[in-house]
Amino acid sequence: MNVLPLHGLALLPFAVLILYSLYRRYRRHVGPQEVTPLRMGLRVLLLCGLAVFILALPRSTQLHLGLIGGIVTGAALGLFSLRHTRFETRGAKHYYIPNIYIGLAVSALFALRLIYRFAVLYPQMQQAGGGFHLPNPGDPLAAMGGSKSLLTLAMLGVLIGYYASYYAGVLLQSRRVVAAQPAAEIETDSAA
């Protein structure tokens, strides 16, 4: 009895990769995370570049507004999450402890969209004889529903806005904490 067809086995590495990336996302939202300015700065630049790239693609004004609305919503969530983020220093390293609920909710939004798209694309793959044919191969967002999907662009905007604003905020807050720390240590030493 063949439970999983041969072409279904080809999807197994992708499923493992998705599960691993979700696990890494979960770990990123639980417990102290080291502030890595270069990596976080690159993430902010890449996310902003992605937003500009998608906005530069020709499409309707409604879709542009969906992406921009998602970015604004995500940025607001990022700033709200930043207000609930704690910062600490251990030795010479600086850490931030993110709000677990907001970060996981945004990650769950991403995971649900991936699961939904897989559920929609898998029957199409079955009908095509196991081949994976995107509806519009010229569309960079075709695997997520296409750049003509308002929901896809709004959700992508939420992810971009959230992570770009959150990481930029973590970098700014950690700099403030580092700048204020020597003054606090001097005050503590002089009081003793």
Which among 125, 122, 117 has a CA at the least distance from the CA of 149?
A: 117
**Tens-digit pLDDT profile for residues 12-53:** 676 677 677 767 767 766 778 889 999 999 999 999 999 998
In the structure encoding, which two tokens stand for residue 65, read together? Answer: 């507004």
What is the C-alpha separation between 126 and 139, in angstroms, rounded? 22
What is 25-92 written as a DSSP string?
Answer: HHHHTSS-EE--HHHHHHHHHHHHHHHHHHHHS---HHHHHHHHHHHHHHHHHHHHHHHT-EEEEETT
Alpha carbon of 140 to those of 76, 95, 111: distances in Å?
27, 36, 19
pLDDT over threshold 70, residue 173:
yes
pTM of the model: 0.70
**Tens-digit pLDDT profile for residues 87-139:** 888 888 899 988 878 877 887 787 777 677 677 766 665 665 555 555 555 55
pLDDT over threshold 60, residue 186:
no
Domain limits, the chain = 60-186
In the structure encoding, which two tokens stand for residue 99, read together? Answer: 């709000």
Share above pLDDT 90 across residues of the chain, in percent, rounded to a whole number: 23
